[in-house]
Amino acid sequence: MAIREAFCEWIHQLQATICSALEEQDGKAGFREDRWERKEGGGGLTRILSGGTVFEKAGVNISEVHGLLPETLAQTLEAKDKRFFACGISLVIHPLSPLVPTVHANYRYFELYDPTGAVSDFWFGGGSDLTPCYLFEADGVHFHKTLKSVCDRFSDTWYPRFKKQCEEYFVNRHRGNEMRGIGGIFYDYLRPEPGISPKALLEFSMAAGGAFLESYLPIVEKRKGLPYGDQQIFWQEIRRGRYVEFNLIHDRGTLFGLKTGGRTESILMSLPPRARWEYHDAPVPGSEEARMLQYLKPRDWVSSSQPIPKTI
């Protein structure tokens, strides 16, 4: 089976697996499905959960689109050939509790074709990152160690490389280079390299996507029952505002989707149902909110020996 067909089959399977696990974890809400078509070519399946007891909003989308690259995007990619095919799975989960972190992940495959229809270039992209409003250091350690274990199966250079790329990408530069969360891994334009075949890249993407539930659900289990109040909800909405800013200003996936005629509802499913912007808001020095801000910068999670913050 060709890489394109194998990847497309896998994202359908992964979407079903993740949605089933999230429904079981929530215990109340279920996903509704919305199939859509893109007039330029292709389509997808958007699955949305809302109003749950654990997850306030969760979206798990798959898409397979094709056509011609817009000229501006072709220039950005420095692409000589304009005909493309792209497929992928993208998810964002916004929990109800401020003590359960938001999480994002996506895995995608891209092909370009020459005038004869032959593949002239291809690459993989993806990753997963965690965005807590309040930090329990053990959660960050677990998340990063899970991702590292996947990377290390293919190359011992990938985790530090992809972690750094994640820290450099998910940043609100207009907010003084404040990271959106505590990172994870992120890679793009990943092509074969010495010792890494196209098949290995496919297997890595599948392994990374397959580890998503292992990296996230244990954190949900530990934090979903903890008590919280209005102060924590207020802070959650402030941090969600930062999430919105990144997705609308900096995120390349959002911009790619909008510029290639993607489905706006599915593209913007990543936004939280509630967010807040307060003029010149700043947390009280010494508070748990102020402590959280200290983690929004590069950090060695897998060998961290700092004490775990107390439960709120």
Flag whether 302 is in a domain: no
**pTM for this prediction:** 0.93
Q: How far apart are CA 163 and CA 159, in angstroms?
A: 6
CA distances from 4 to 111, 240, 261 (A): 8, 35, 21
Q: What is the pLDDT of residue 309?
A: 43
Q: Which residues are annotated as catalytic?
A: 104
Flag whether 125 is in a domain: yes
Which tens digits make up the pLDDT trace of 301-311? 998 544 444 43
Flag whether 306 is in a domain: no
Q: What CATH number is given to the structural domain containing 275? A: 3.40.1500.10
Give the domain extent around 29: 3-293
Mean pLDDT value of segment 56-67: 96
CA 277 to chain CA centroid, nearest Å: 23
Mean pLDDT value of segment 211-238: 98
Residue with tokens 């493309």: 84
Flag whether 300 is in a domain: no
The number of helix segments (H) and strand segments (E) in the chain equals 10, 9
Q: What is the pLDDT of residue 109?
A: 97
Percent of the chain with pLDDT over 70: 96
Which tens digits make up the pLDDT trace of 100-138? 999 999 999 999 999 999 999 999 999 999 999 999 999
Flag whether 310 is in a domain: no
| 76 exposure class (CB count in 10 Å sphere: 0-12, 13-18, 19+) | middle
Flag whether 242 is in a domain: yes
Q: Residue 218 has which token pair? A: 């244990």
Flag whether 89 is in a domain: yes
Flag whether 146 is in a domain: yes
Domain count, the chain: 1
Asked if 57 contacts 50 with a C-beta cutoff of 8 angstroms, the reply is yes
Query: DSSP state, 133?
Result: S
